[in-house]
Each structure stands twice: as structure tokens, then as C-alpha cells.
A and B are shown apart, each in its own frame.
Chain A
Amino acid sequence: MTERPADNREQFRPADHDNDHFLLTSVVGSYKKPKWLDRARELYEDDEDNFGDTEWEEAKDDAARLITEEHERAGLDTVVDGEMRRTEMVEYFAERIEGYEFNGRVKVWGHNYFNKPSVAETVEYGEQWLVDEFEFTDSVADRPVKVPITGPYTLANWTFNEAYDDDEALAYDLAELVNEEIEQLVDAGARYIQIDEPALATTPDDHAIVGECLERIVEDIPEEVRIGLHVCYGDYSRIYPEVLDYPVDELDLELTNGDYEQIDVFTDPEFTLDLALGVVDNHTADVESVEEIKANIQQGLKVVPPEQLTISPDCGLKLLPREVAYEKMENMVTAAREVEAELDAGEIDVPALGETASADD
């Protein structure tokens, strides 16, 4: 029986880390695809073109290498390949799971559509989802690789359900598949898994279903494997403190977008997981300054001590121009390192520990 939160973050501290304090820096996952990769996909999907499987695989490898290295260059402690091989967060997995089918595009807003899948039969594990992706990224990365994976509740909720009595039953079946995938990822060497459940924020009444899914997902996953849960864009007071009972190590939240208005939600009762705090906004192309981000990081210290704080953008960066996304990551890492140094020097208070300026003296 594993217990979470588990003590598993030190493994991500780089050997050459300068400060005593360590704010683990990371990203949520998605990143803008280079234009040439979109062009390569068009060529690949065009039957008349002489651009086959080999060329398409090579293009995806090149893009994954490029973005992984971009993350490393920004100084992140843990990296992702920017999800270069994935289409969309539900579609990509639905394409690989038996029981799903696609019936055409549906509207999101205006003239923006996505290929919303339908579950037409009982879901079963089909081809592997992420093991190849992880193995490639791990082979080109010098830093530990984080693997984002869409959670079963979101896979169930953002799908037309034709086969199950309700979304709950579908979510539990999907949770078994996610568990199977994570076991394979762990066998392949993955040590940091992030389960993405954005649907939780839009339908918070279902937090118990998400909890039950997570129990199935992490069953038999060793404690040395760090499990994060990413949730975004919702009313967090409707899921807190219930989320503290989830069997995860870290809760990753979007908070910059709302100007930390919801930060107080997490101060009572005591936040017992690690907090992965969104400190840059993925919906604005304005690059936050290092000073601004440092102030944002200190919002996190109201909730948890530095030992429990992870630093991350609000959400995936795929809608931002690449240079903007890169600058945000770079400033984010700089800000984290400066806050660590100031914590080492005792120059920053940690309200989560009840510290005040006078108590420091």
C-alpha cells in the first residue's frame, strides 16, 4: 500500500543546484508546434504527396527534440516535449483506445471546432499511448522528464457517451486503462506523471468520482514516482478541501489568470499536498517580468512552505508564440532561483509557516 503525498521531490533537484532551498520548476505540458511541423502534417495527410510514415516520424522526433531542448535551455528542472506528437488532449488518447470512434467536428466557439469522439463500445486498451513518446524524450533530455496524461474523468466527460449508463462508469473503466499506461511508463523509467483533469473544474460536483478514478490510477504505482494532478479554470472553493484526500503528491493549479483571487481558498484547512503554482499566464502574450513572477511565487508561500512548492505556468503554453512562451519560462526559472536565494538568506517570509517579518528577526 502506497501513501501519498510521498517524499519524492528531491530526486528532481539538479546536481549543480546552487541554493539550499529548491523550488521545483516545471511546465504543464503543451507547447506551440513549429510551423514546419504543421506543414509536415499537411504533407503527410495529403495522399498525393510523397511524404510517408518515415518522414512524418522523423519530423515529430525533430520537433520533440527541439522543444525538449528549448525547455532545458530555459533552465527548467523537469521537462516535457511540448506534446509535439499529440493532436488534442482528448482526441489523441481516444484515437488509441478501443471503443472510441470519431463522427466529425463539433463547435467550441465561433468557427473553432474539435473532433469530439464518441464512446460506442466498452473501452479497452489498444495501442500504447505515451511510452514511445517518453522513451524518446528521455533519451534526448538531460533533465528528468515529466509525462502529462489526460485523466479518465476528462476523457469521459469531454466525449459523447453512447455505451455506458453514465459518465461515472465510463470514467472508472478509463481509469483502469490510464493505470495500465502509467505502469508501462514507470517500467520505462518515468518518475513524474501529471494527470490532467480540467473537466473537474467545470463540473466540481463530481469530485468524488475523480477521487475514485485516482485511487484506481495510482494503485501499485511506487511512491518514488511523483504523481501530480492538474486542474484549471474553475471555482476551486467547490473542490477544496476535498482534493486533499486525493492519492496524489502534488496539485497543479492555474491562479495567475484570476490574479490570485482564489489563493485564500487553499489556506484553510492546511494544504497538505505539494502545490504546483501557476505563476505566468498562458492566455496573455505579455511576458511577466522576473519581479512580477517573484511576487506571484510568494503568493504560493501563503499556502505551503518552500519544500512543498512547485513553480509552473498556469496551463499549457500552446496558444502562445514560441518566443513569448520561451521568455515566460526563462523568467519563471530566474524568478524561482532568486526566491530560493532570498529564502536561503532569510530575506523572505513564509506566511504558510506563520512567519512574519518580526519573527524573522
Chain B
Amino acid sequence: MTQVLSTTPGLYPLPDWAKDELANLKGRQKGGLVSGDESAEIGDAYDRARTEVVDLQTDAGLDLVVEGQLRWDDMLTHPLAVADAVETKGIVRYFDNNNFYRDPVVTGDLSATGDVATDLEATVELTDESLNAVLPGPYTLSQLATDEHYGDEAAFLSALAEFLASEAEQFPEVETLFLLEPSLLESPPGDGADERASEAIDTVAQATEADVVAHTYWESHGGDGGIDEKVYAHLMDADVDAVGFDFVANHEDNAYVLSEYGAKDDIALGIVDGQNTLVEEGEEIAERVEWTLDNAHGVDFETAYATINTPTFYLPSGRFEEKLAALGAVERTEVKA
């Protein structure tokens, strides 16, 4: 029997009132975006918004609560955007979406800021539930950032892994850590780089007592569908407790690599669509969980994290809340495995 726990990969949309209040406080230009030393007034607005999204998760009945990453103006590159030795420059496109972030240019030795840990500390105060911490995976971060200091790809990736590891070391007690690695599909690492990507994830994973999930999402480029087989094979060598899959974007290919290459003892199942406003029924979500567990032939999981496939920052707030409620309802539905 697999234990099914519901959670999300974070990066929530701001509640509508906070969209307005913070736009008024920070402006709409790139100069006003989060830098790590915001005013007390801005901090207060984020505190209220955080309380709201933590309550939403508790009310929805989610097993593992996330902080919500509402301050992450630059989405996955936020931890770099607030770090010393990083200059945030022009607005660049975020993957193939109609979203943009400030290009973080690394100009010196990176060191941890404790920014993510501080937000997690604040979250501990708001809930009795266990926490799921969220960080960008080192490989994805290396693809989204620009290096003007370390000199070569391998050195940059390794520095980012150390940077994320030292951020994770400062976390309060968390149950799980989701490392978001969409770039493993969007721009798969080639020979050599695939092994280094896995080692970098390993570096971060070893910095925490929490169960670590390397969460992948989106369909891969070039129409291959799921995660590249070699990339996955290397990922299996990383000391993570689970790999996460986007079963919304592609369930067949993901089920195939699971059957072909096996899996970790735990798994994250991205089965609620974070890219679309269509709200799934609780029963539909339970069926998807069941299908994925049934189709991972020969693998018995101890824990399956039922989750939204992607971060949800570009869903409208109302639909996002309905999706949280639907996902939270899944644990109350009978799941056979």
C-alpha cells in the first residue's frame, strides 16, 4: 500500500488584493522588484499574503504545506536575484512562455543569503502541518542564469549546487524539499553534463535531513515527450528520495521510463494541471494517481506525493484556489495501489 501525500511545487499567484497593493508599493518596472531588502510596508503585505495562502492549503487539507514563494518576482531565479555577487539585468523570456524574469548575472563568488530560510521560518509560525520547502534545482538555475565569474559550465553548476546547499542548510525543520528541475526536459543536458546535473542535485540533497524530490515537468523539446532516458538514468544515481514527473503533459512516456529504468522508493506525481484553468474533480485526480501507480510496472512506492505538475503563479487566483481544494480532497478518496 502506497502512502499518498498531497502537496504542491509552490510559486503561487498572489491573491488579487496583493497584486494591486504590491504593484502600488513596488511599481510595475523592473527596478521595483524584490531585492531582499524591501521596506517594512512591502514585507507586511507579503506576510499577510503568506498567511492567506498557508490557510488556503490547510483548509484544502493538503498534507504538506509550502510557503508559497509569493516574493519570487523572478520565479525560479529568485534565490539568485537576492544574492550578493549577482546583478539582475534585462528582462528575458521564461522558457517558452509568455512570462519574463530579470536575467541574474553572477559576477563573483556566490554565498547563501538565508532569504528562503527566513520565509520558511515565518511559515512555521503559521501552521502545525509539516512543511515542503521549494528551491530551484541547480541544473535549471544554471540554465536560467548567466555566468560572468566561474568561467565554465561545470564550475558554474557546481557553484550553484553549493550555493543552494548552503541555503538549504539554514532551513528550519521541513518534511520535504522539492528541487524544481524543468530544464532537465526543456534543455536536456548532453553527455557529461547529464552526470554533472545529477551530481549537483546530489550536493543539494545531502545538505538537508528532509526527503528530497527532484521534480521535473513540462514536455521535452523536440517532441520526444518525457524525460530523456539517459538523463533519467543519471538522475537515478542522485541521492534523492523521489523523482517527480509531469503526468499531465505526458503520462505514456513517463510511465515508460519508470517501467524501463525503475524508480526511487518514493515518487511525486504531477497530476493536477497547473497550466490550465480547467479544475479537475477529486475523483479524476484520484484516478490519475491510481493510473500512474498501476502503470509503473514492477515498482512499489512507499510514498507518492500527489501534486500539481508545475508552479501555479500564472493561474488566476480563483481557479488556483479551486485546484488546491480539489487536490486536498484526494487524500480523503480511496486510493488503491
Report the stretch among A101-109, A243-251, A257-265 that lies at the interface.
A101-109
Chain A, range 56-112, C-beta contacts under 8 Å to B? 103-112
Chain A residue numbers with a CB within 8 Å of B313 are 107
Judged by a CB distance under 8 angstroms, whether A55 is at the interface is no
CB distance from B265 to the nearest CB of A (A): 35
In the bound complex, how far is the Cα of B276 from the Cα of A160, in angstroms?
A: 5
In the bound complex, how far is the Cα of B316 from the Cα of A113, in angstroms?
A: 10
Contact string against A for B residues 237-260, beta-carbon threshold 8 Å, 1 for contact and 0 otherwise: 000000000000000000000000
Judged by a CB distance under 8 angstroms, whether B13 is at the interface is yes
Chain A residue numbers with a CB within 8 Å of B91 are 109
Judged by a CB distance under 8 angstroms, whether A118 is at the interface is yes
Judged by a CB distance under 8 angstroms, whether A268 is at the interface is no
If the complex has contacts A160-B277, A162-B277, are A111 and B316 also in contact, measured as CB distance less than 8 A? no
Verify B13–A107 contact, CB threshold 8 A.
Answer: yes
Chain B residue numbers with a CB within 8 Å of A118 are 276-278
Verify A111–B99 contact, CB threshold 8 A.
Answer: no
Contact string against A for B residues 297-320, beta-carbon threshold 8 Å, 1 for contact and 0 otherwise: 000000000000000011111110
Verify B27–A111 contact, CB threshold 8 A.
Answer: yes
Judged by a CB distance under 8 angstroms, whether A116 is at the interface is yes
The residue that A111 contacts in the complex, of B28, B94, B315, with Cβ under 8 A, is B28
CB distance from B80 to the nearest CB of A (A): 16
Judged by a CB distance under 8 angstroms, whether B30 is at the interface is yes
The residue on A at minimum CB distance from B11 is A107
Judged by a CB distance under 8 angstroms, whether A205 is at the interface is yes
In the bound complex, how far is the Cα of B275 from the Cα of A107, in angstroms?
A: 12
CB distance from A91 to the nearest CB of B (A): 13
Chain B residue numbers with a CB within 8 Å of A113 are 19
Judged by a CB distance under 8 angstroms, whether B223 is at the interface is yes
Judged by a CB distance under 8 angstroms, whether B228 is at the interface is no
Verify B22–A162 contact, CB threshold 8 A.
Answer: no
Chain B residue numbers with a CB within 8 Å of A12 are none
Judged by a CB distance under 8 angstroms, whether B100 is at the interface is yes
Verify B28–A103 contact, CB threshold 8 A.
Answer: no
Judged by a CB distance under 8 angstroms, whether B39 is at the interface is no
The residue that B30 contacts in the complex, of A106, A107, A110, with Cβ under 8 A, is A110
The residue on B at minimum CB distance from A106 is B314
If the complex has contacts A162-B276, A202-B96, are A110 and B223 also in contact, measured as CB distance less than 8 A? no
Contact string against A for B residues 10-21, beta-carbon threshold 8 Å, 1 for contact and 0 otherwise: 000110100100
Judged by a CB distance under 8 angstroms, whether A298 is at the interface is no
Verify A107–B99 contact, CB threshold 8 A.
Answer: yes
In the bound complex, how far is the Cα of B13 from the Cα of A160, in angstroms?
A: 16
Verify A205–B316 contact, CB threshold 8 A.
Answer: no
Judged by a CB distance under 8 angstroms, whether B23 is at the interface is yes
If the complex has contacts A103-B319, A116-B314, A205-B223, are A109 and B277 also in contact, measured as CB distance less than 8 A? no
Contact string against B for A residues 195-232, beta-carbon threshold 8 Å, 1 for contact and 0 otherwise: 00000001101000000000000000000000000000
Q: Taking beta carbons and an 8 Å cutoff, which residues of A are in contact with B?
A: 103-113, 116, 118, 158, 160-162, 202-203, 205
Q: Can you list 16 A-B contacts with CB-CB less than 8 angstroms, sorted by A residue number? A: A103-B318, A104-B318, A107-B14, A108-B100, A109-B30, A109-B94, A110-B26, A110-B29, A110-B30, A110-B33, A110-B73, A111-B32, A111-B73, A116-B316, A118-B277, A162-B276
Q: Given contacts A103-B277, A109-B100, A203-B96, could you give 4 more A-B pairs where the C-beta distance is less than 8 Å?
A: A107-B99, A111-B26, A202-B96, A205-B222
